[in-house]
Chains A and B, each alone.
Chain A
């Protein structure tokens, strides 16, 4: 029963990680860049929910209605300006630029909002849970986040496979130059992909702020978990991302079962093991790595 508990809480956590990771995965798949400020974007989204949304007289539970559209727009703008400029130089520059952004964002948050922890107030929902049996409790919030992330992944998958823009996104990620020769403005497609990535990371950031508390430096850990999720699941596979998140969640809960200190370490160990044994990830194609 104890192990079942570990698995259930791991799966629930995994849904959250997958939500975090799908934006990272999308941006790498389409633009071949790793946004090192990905985790910080989530934190900024959380802070926006805490500090901006109350001004709209909206309950914080519904903050995503405001934050997600803002971030979708922000994603497009950041891509078309800063990120496109660095992509035009080389992949190396995008790493430096996004790392720089990450440090700047963290310290800006620190200066403006201090190091105090913030959390998104969702009222009594936080305490409600569903009792499966004597030992297993499933909190409504975790379950909602898991469902949201599955829905988001399914919607993304559907969007990519069925719509004209989705087709163009896949075409651009296959061969940017050939897509241009088909009349596709790849810069715009990059913007769209980035907009989707930012929208999902905003959702993840809000979920994070509801779960626990946000602090300016939380972005780094978030990026690590998202990255581990992507690598474990395999690059370029959205469902792989979900499985990767779930495996990471289970590994962490497994570690936590022995000692709270081993939570993150157990996840890192799983990540390093996957790296050593199957660097393309569980569901990834080998070609992507080179």
Chain B
């Protein structure tokens, strides 16, 4: 790993270069490149099936790319197993929360903290952030509401003290008020020096928190920029694909 760091030209926090990913024979992500710098909140937006979740899962190591490289802090990590990437500081809050149903709230956090790096977060700190968790720590997570489960899922990733926190579809299946409450905590996470890579279908929410936006359309980058640079029209066309009206055959196959 460290050998390749010497030859690697880039020293960005996360450098995704020419990533192409297939789902079986279907092309899910087509030659995507982007960088995430320290302290950034990068939101990846796009419609259903644009390849956003696949992208995050590939960065986390749950899915293998067809081609392209992923570099973290100067080291190529494209071939590392998931748990090694997590121990390097790349955490993913997966879509659908994926808590451990037979474990209590606290045990869920303990599993997350098992191989934690040095850092500001530990279970006590999380309890300070979300006071209700301390009270309910002995409960099985299945007894929590959807929003609470989502918060636990984020907390479970936080206690590992990641340098990059990837969050997949926070708002899926949650009431707007709950979503807002979860997003309220994002600035305090970023303030602790954690960079965030966010996948979100809710564009307005993404624009509100992101420092940079990356829009995917059928596996390709259709737009990129900071929220204030981008007009609503540009985002809309990048999101729904009114610019490239004809879908490429591979992507729609």
Contact B114 A168 (CB under 8 A): yes
Contact check: which of B81, B100, B107, B110 meets A178 at CB < 8 Å?
B100
Contact A185 B111 (CB under 8 A): no
Instruction: Give the Cβ gap from A76 to chain B, nearest Cβ, in Å.
Output: 18
Contact B87 A183 (CB under 8 A): yes
Contact B100 A175 (CB under 8 A): yes
Number of residues of chain A lying within 8 A (CB) of chain B: 18
Q: Which residues of B contact A180 (CB under 8 A)?
A: 61-62, 81-83, 86
Q: Which residues of A contact B62 (CB under 8 A)?
A: 177, 180-181
Cβ of B156 under 8 Å from chain A: yes
Q: Which residues of A contact B92 (CB under 8 A)?
A: 181
The B-contacting residues of A in range 176-201, CB under 8 angstroms, are: 177-186
The A-contacting residues of B in range 60-116, CB under 8 angstroms, are: 60-62, 81-83, 86-87, 91-92, 94, 98-103, 107-108, 110-112, 114-115
Contact check: which of A164, A177, A185 meets B98 at CB < 8 Å?
A177
A184 with B81, Cβ < 8 A, contacts A170-B102, A171-B103 known: no
Q: Which residues of A contact B98 (CB under 8 A)?
A: 175, 177-178, 181
Q: When chains A and B are docked, how far (Å) is the Cα of A180 from the Cα of B84?
A: 9
A182 with B102, Cβ < 8 A, contacts A164-B110, A164-B114, A167-B111 known: no
Contact B103 A174 (CB under 8 A): yes
Q: Which residues of A contact B91 (CB under 8 A)?
A: 181
Encode A140-169 as 1/0 by CB contact (under 8 A) with B: 000000000000000000000000100110
Q: Which residues of B contact A168 (CB under 8 A)?
A: 111, 114
Q: Which residues of B contact A184 (CB under 8 A)?
A: 83, 111, 114-115
Q: When chains A and B are docked, how far (Å) is the Cα of A155 from the Cα of B59?
A: 39
Q: Which residues of A contact B100 (CB under 8 A)?
A: 170-171, 174-175, 178-179
Contact A183 B94 (CB under 8 A): no
| Chain A interface main SS type | helix
Cβ of B160 under 8 Å from chain A: yes
Q: Which residues of A contact B114 (CB under 8 A)?
A: 164, 168, 182-184
Instruction: Give the Cβ gap from A237 to chain B, nearest Cβ, in Å.
Output: 11
Instruction: Give the Cβ gap from A106 to chain B, nearest Cβ, in Å.
Output: 36
Q: When chains A and B are docked, how far (Å) is the Cα of A182 from the Cα of B99?
A: 10
Encode B133-172 as 1/0 by CB contact (under 8 A) with A: 0000000000000000000000011001000000000000
Q: Which residues of A contact B108 (CB under 8 A)?
A: 171
Contact A182 B112 (CB under 8 A): yes
Q: When chains A and B are docked, how far (Å) is the Cα of A182 from the Cα of B62?
A: 12
Instruction: Give the Cβ gap from B123 to chain A, nearest Cβ, in Å.
Output: 13
Contact B103 A167 (CB under 8 A): yes
Q: When chains A and B are docked, how far (Å) is the Cα of A148 from the Cα of B94?
A: 42
Q: When chains A and B are docked, how far (Å) is the Cα of A179 from the Cα of B102?
A: 13
Encode A7-49 as 1/0 by CB contact (under 8 A) with B: 0000000000000000000000000000000000000000000
Q: Which residues of B contact A175 (CB under 8 A)?
A: 98-100
Contact A181 B82 (CB under 8 A): yes
Q: When chains A and B are docked, how far (Å) is the Cα of A182 from the Cα of B98?
A: 11
Contact A185 B94 (CB under 8 A): no
Q: When chains A and B are docked, how far (Å) is the Cα of A175 from the Cα of B102?
A: 10
Q: Which residues of A contact B61 (CB under 8 A)?
A: 180
Contact check: which of B99, B101, B115 meets A183 at CB < 8 Å?
B115
Contact A177 B156 (CB under 8 A): no
Instruction: Give the Cβ gap from A178 to chain B, nearest Cβ, in Å.
Output: 4
Instruction: Give the Cβ gap from B193 to chain A, nearest Cβ, in Å.
Output: 19
A167 with B107, Cβ < 8 A, contacts A177-B98, A183-B86 known: yes
Which residue on chain B has the smallest CB distance to residue A181?
B92
The 9 closest A-B pairs by CB, nearest first: A183-B115, A178-B98, A183-B86, A180-B82, A174-B100, A171-B111, A185-B83, A171-B100, A182-B112
Identify the A interface with B (CB < 8 A): 164, 167-168, 170-171, 173-175, 177-186
Sampled A-B contacts (20; CB under 8 Å) = A164-B114, A167-B111, A168-B114, A170-B103, A171-B100, A171-B108, A173-B102, A177-B82, A180-B62, A180-B81, A181-B60, A181-B91, A181-B94, A182-B111, A182-B114, A183-B86, A183-B87, A184-B114, A184-B115, A186-B83
Identify the B interface with A (CB < 8 A): 60-62, 81-83, 86-87, 91-92, 94, 98-103, 107-108, 110-112, 114-115, 156-157, 160
